[in-house]
Amino acid sequence: MTPLVSIIMGSTSDLPVMEKAARFLDSMHIPFEMLALSAHRTPREVEKFASSAKDRGVRVIIAAAGMAAHLGGVIASMTTLPVIGVPIRSSFDGLDALLAIVQMPPGIPVATVGVNAAENAAILATQILALSDEEIDRRLADHKAGLTAKIVKANEELRSVSFPYKTN
């Protein structure tokens, strides 16, 4: 299978968070690859990856990193593929990584999700792929319907919670 999504992480210590992205892509039947690459520790490998990803068939890149998180931005500087950044909570509650990823200079955007929000990154990647793939779009629609059903059920459960002044 040719991977359509690359999940890149700065370190395998990011894996427990990024597994959520992998699980979501699996559930959507989307082939993906997972690689550890670091803007600071393996800059040459990052360049090789970023400059060849599109030719290998990759369509969206998810880049996760913590601390001074330059991985997504550096990759985005070397490819026209959309890059989704996931700030990892490793210091300062992830605020350092969030700002490093989201505050890109004009011209090199990285679509940034919340701190540790690996599943949202995978959903966004899936939405990008769904623009040109009806089957993926149908699976996404099913997923969204499931989210709605969850809230409907939550409201049913809340109906049985009683307080003297609760009116519904």
How far apart (Å, rounded) are the C-alpha atoms in residues 117 and 18? 9
Binding mask 60-99 for ligand RP5 (x = CB under 6 A): -----xxx--------------------x-x---------
Among residues 10 and 30, whose Cβ is nearest to ligand RP5? 10
* Chosen residue from 10, 72, 85, 94 binding ligand RP5 by CB under 6 A: 10
Taking the least distance from each CB to ligand RP5, the nearer of 65 and 125 is 65
CB atoms < 10 A from the CB of 152, how many?
Answer: 9
- When the beta carbons of 64 and 128 are compared against ligand RP5, the nearer one is 64
Q: Which stretch binds ligand RP5 (CB under 6 A): 6-14, 19-27, 72-80, 137-145?
A: 6-14
15 binds ligand RP5 (CB under 6 A): no
Q: Taking CA 50 as the corner, what is the angle to CA 42 and CA 23, rounded to the nearest 5 degrees?
A: 90
What is the bridge-based pairing of β-strands 5-9 and 32-36? parallel
Cβ-based neighbours of 72, under 8 Å, separated by 6 or more: 61, 63, 65, 83, 84, 85, 101, 110, 112
